[in-house]
Structure 1
């Protein structure tokens, strides 16, 4: 059975960093995957805003990776904030020298930043330990960025301007133990697609690792992730489009207004194949 998990977090509650385009992305990808995968009813899970806590998303991801049969397609779409953070050792409390890249779940009422981050390495381990068969297809579509600190000076008062999908951690909330070194080592989010993997997957990322992914008002008059808007239009026009052709189609459209380059990672043998069938 094909399954899809669609997550769009536009209201980050107490973090006060909204992304108004995520609701339209969530709706657009849900509708597309219902048709493209036949993922209806219990085969499609959609999480919005406060529903999308870290615990809920981990349970949903376990469901997405479970009971997979040969030929199944499983798709995870995420629209929301990305971030970079040094993890603490759970015993000593000492922060790692390496900065990890994450996607940001809804924070709930309390807890420090790490408590609502889904770290790349944890997601990769979850996938590799799932027993996902090689004859099935796993696709992750990430409309977020993973370089939050670089954008912290952007003001958020006007929600109708382009917004980066990078969590901005206020400087006063960053303890010295969290602050990056002068030349930090960043463990790339692309480790979801690292060479030594147990489960092959394709990651379609909205932007390169060093770039923000943007949220803006688009020609249809609505807010969207810039990548999602163009990707959904391309799929509507060419339902049989391949991963490579998707990137080739939307990249120049995005580049006309934003310094953002969609990127393919992972199982390159699938790049020339139809995205969904």
Structure 2
């Protein structure tokens, strides 16, 4: 058995902010320079090491293994390596890290150019008109040190649930993973956004739409002043180092705005910092049992609502938390904690309400943590407890204790 936070080697993203500078990027641990002029750098978080040749005009460096950024006192050099690269400016460039432009020993590019964006969706499978459509996206970042091991299992689990439990026709489910043969189905930024546009295109009353994502999630400063906590939540496509992340504002405008009256969208997001990834107007607080206002604080009105439809999001954790992959559930391989508990609960409790679904997942996480504390074996397996609280948000308030969960 194995369990890892999605913000360590297999965690789903950690560029998390603290009360100090820029979400508290962890410092890189440096080792004295070698006689040949190279400096060996070890990241304090992911322990990745490299011989790093640093340019003279910067003392900020990012670890592409775990995405942590900090200052370093390394002696300046002329070149840079593929793991610890210079960060010249705090801001947008910090999060859109750019093309590394290097390759490994096998000649595989280390940048997002492994997965070139496709110019159009003409090669996508054609689908008939159904009142149920879904986009299932699992990103494993398989050629990188921050790869995830459970995302393919997550997508398979979700697809099986939707077809057998909620009767989604297979031809109306669009799956994006790095294992797909069709290049249009690789989870690049372009392909994900194209699929989201397909999901809501020409939606009609009675439609049930689903967006599922399993992968890394991050945060970045909110420059539009439309976030209560001052940070935008993001999803990381497979090519995010080159093309950038998908920001919550863009997700909101792409799949929330177009929802007509009578159309329901469910988003299930198994990623770190994913609490308000859809930027919906209301957040349900599990502890108090009330809906809290999540309207943007900016003076100028910023659109966050639907066109009359209903959008509901179930996230792996709150914006400030991280999500975990785990093998503690048994079976083959690893699974996202949210995905496994969600699918397990839906299968075991037909007609479950939103409130009971959320309660059961919280209870299961508590049981896992209690078991870890009582077992020496599990103490050895787990570096720390699973510290994530699944979160429910919605475009409008509803009674979670009486409303049944349906897709």
**TM-score normalized by the length of structure 1:** 0.73
**Paired position in structure 2 for 1:94:** none
Counterpart check, 1:136 vs 2:243 = no
Partners of 2:399 and 2:212 in 1: CA distance: 18
Offset, 1:198: 2.4
Partner of residue 160 from structure 2, selected from 31, 40, 49: 31
Partners of 2:398 and 2:222 in 1: CA distance: 33
Offset, 1:33: 1.0
Structure 2 vs 1, CA of residues 125 and 210 (structure 1 numbering), >3 Å: closer, same or farther? same
Structure 2 vs 1, CA of residues 84 and 118 (structure 1 numbering), >3 Å: closer, same or farther? same
Q: Contact 1:103–1:146 (CA<8 Å) still a contact in 2?
A: no
Counterpart check, 1:191 vs 2:279 = yes
Q: Contact 2:276–2:393 (CA<8 Å) still a contact in 1?
A: no
**Paired position in structure 2 for 1:265:** 393
Where in structure 2 are the equivalents of 1:165-204 lying within 5 Å?
Answer: 189=277, 191-193=279-281, 194-195=294-295, 196-199=304-307, 200-204=310-314
Where in structure 2 are the equivalents of 1:80-229 lying within 5 Å?
Answer: 80-86=215-221, 99-107=231-239, 111=242, 115-130=243-258, 132-146=259-273, 189=277, 191-193=279-281, 194-195=294-295, 196-199=304-307, 200-221=310-331, 222-229=333-340
Offset, 1:216: 1.1
Structure 2 vs 1, CA of residues 226 and 118 (structure 1 numbering), >3 Å: closer, same or farther? same
Report the structure number with the largest CA radius of gyration: 2
Q: Contact 1:231–1:250 (CA<8 Å) still a contact in 2?
A: yes
Higher-RCO chain (CA-CA 8 Å, sequence separation at least 6): 1
1:206-231 CA distance string (max 9 Å, x none):
11111111101133233101111111
Q: Aligned residues, how many? A: 224
The structure that is helix-richer by fraction is: 1
**Paired position in structure 2 for 1:276:** 406
**TM-score normalized by the length of structure 2:** 0.51
Where in structure 2 are the equivalents of 1:228-239 lying within 5 Å?
Answer: 228-239=339-350
1:225-244 CA distance string (max 9 Å, x none):
11111111111111322221
Q: Alignment partner of 1:201: what SS?
A: strand
Q: Contact 1:216–1:224 (CA<8 Å) still a contact in 2?
A: yes
Offset, 1:77: 0.8
Offset, 1:88: 8.8
